[in-house]
């Protein structure tokens, strides 16, 4: 059994498998890295996983220090090795925490504030919509004025007819790489609810924008989208 968000039964295969499962994974992450602001000094990453977004952001923001949190010890082990390999261990503070508990201000989950940017990819969709709202509020409170929040996540189709189209976009991506999507999906492990996260709890882009506005994000935008994968967020 794996935690929601670990995705694949074998953590060591995450980096290869995620690129086969999701179209334009690298491009999606690079949209966040580009929009995070190269002058950022203090960045918080939620659900850092194996650190692929962390690396892109560190390359884009030479003066940045990152607080990267993830609840999975297996993922933390992988990112730790990767950061050491790239010589980034001094720039990243790794914390094994549940970002739902952080949003709820539970004791032992303080990681400070005053961030220039908060970023996340493929993690927040594991929270209920109520918890997404609480998390966005906590993010807004943890950002400097004008601080940025960018999140990449799969989105709920706006109407049922789009589901088929979104599925076709995934099938086409796998075919273009000479892969059978079912074989890639067979590598997905079985997860059960862990802490605040459960299997996919997708919301539409509209719902995300409502939650962001309620949390105090005055300017919101979608900076990248490919069918039901989106990168969105805004400025506090
Ligand atoms: C699909 S992975 C994405 C990792 C990385 N951001 C990327 O794009 O490659 C999602 C990550 O979020 C973490 N995660 C999911 N729910 C979490 C929670 N409530 N608190 C902390 N980490 C969580 C999982 O352990 C996993 O490492």
Least trusted range by pLDDT, from 29-33, 80-84, 189-193: 189-193
Give percent above pLDDT 90 in the chain.
97
Q: Residue ranges per domain, the chain?
A: 11-235
Can you give the pLDDT at residue 161?
Answer: 93
The alpha carbon of 123 and the centre of ligand 1 are apart by a number of angstroms equal to 4
C-alpha 206/C-alpha 227 separation (Å) is 15
CA of 4, closest atom in ligand 1: 15
Terminal Cα-to-Cα distance of the chain (whole angstroms):
38
70 lines ligand 1 (CB under 6 A): yes
Task: Count CB atoms within 10 A of the CB of residue 194.
Answer: 17
The alpha carbon of 145 and the centre of ligand 1 are apart by a number of angstroms equal to 26
Are 206 and 156 in contact by the 8 Å Cβ rule? The answer is no
234 lines ligand 1 (CB under 6 A): no
Cβ-count burial of 127 within 10 angstroms (0-12 exposed, 13-18 middle, 19+ buried)? buried
Can you give the pLDDT at residue 107?
Answer: 86
Can you give the pLDDT at residue 16?
Answer: 96
Res. 204: pLDDT tops 90: yes
122 lines ligand 1 (CB under 6 A): yes
The alpha carbon of 74 and the centre of ligand 1 are apart by a number of angstroms equal to 11
**Residue identifier of the C-alpha nearest atom 22 of ligand 1:** 70
What DSSP designation does 192 have?
-
Least trusted range by pLDDT, from 29-33, 107-111, 185-189: 107-111
What DSSP designation does 190 have?
P
Can you give the pLDDT at residue 152?
Answer: 98
Q: Which tens digit of pLDDT belongs to each residue from 120-169?
A: 999 999 999 999 999 999 999 999 999 999 999 999 999 999 999 999 99
- Average pLDDT for residues 95-111, to the nearest whole number? 95
Can you give the pLDDT at residue 126?
Answer: 98
Write down the pTM of the prediction: 0.97
Q: Which tens digit of pLDDT belongs to each residue from 147-159?
A: 999 999 999 999 9
C-alpha 235/C-alpha 184 separation (Å) is 36
195 lines ligand 1 (CB under 6 A): yes
User: What architecture is the 11-235 domain classified under in CATH?
Assistant: 3-Layer(aba) Sandwich (3.40)
The alpha carbon of 122 and the centre of ligand 1 are apart by a number of angstroms equal to 7
Q: What are the helix (H) ranges across 61-188?
A: 73-86, 99-103, 129-142, 161-176, 181-185
Per-chain mean pLDDT for the chain: 96
Can you give the pLDDT at residue 98?
Answer: 97
CA of 7, closest atom in ligand 1: 1
Can you give the pLDDT at residue 92?
Answer: 98
């Amino acid at each position: 059994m794996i935690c929601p968000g670990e995705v694949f039964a074998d953590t060591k295969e995450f980096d290869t498998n995620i690129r086969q499962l999701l179209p334009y994974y690298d491009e999606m992450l690079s949209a966040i890295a580009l929009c995070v602001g190269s002058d950022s000094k203090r960045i918080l990453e939620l659900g850092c996983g194996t650190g692929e977004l962390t690396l892109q952001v560190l390359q884009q923001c030479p003066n940045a220090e990152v607080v990267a949190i993830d609840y999975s010890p297996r993922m933390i082990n992988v990112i730790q090795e990767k950061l050491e390999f790239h010589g980034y261990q001094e720039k990243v503070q790794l914390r094994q925490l549940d970002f739902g508990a952080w949003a709820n201000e539970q004791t032992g989950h303080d990681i400070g504030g005053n961030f220039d940017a908060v970023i996340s990819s493929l993690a927040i969709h594991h929270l209920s919509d109520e918890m997404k709202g609480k998390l966005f509020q906590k993010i807004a409170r943890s950002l400097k004025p004008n601080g940025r929040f960018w999140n990449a996540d799969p989105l709920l189709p706006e109407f049922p007819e789009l589901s088929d189209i979104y599925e076709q976009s995934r099938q086409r991506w796998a075919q273009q790489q000479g892969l059978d999507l079912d074989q890639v999906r067979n590598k997905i492990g079985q997860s059960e609810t862990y802490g605040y996260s459960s299997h996919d709890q997708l919301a539409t882009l509209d719902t995300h924008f409502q939650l962001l506005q309620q949390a105090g994000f005055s300017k919101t935008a979608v900076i990248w989208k490919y069918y039901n994968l989106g990168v969105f967020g805004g400025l506090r």
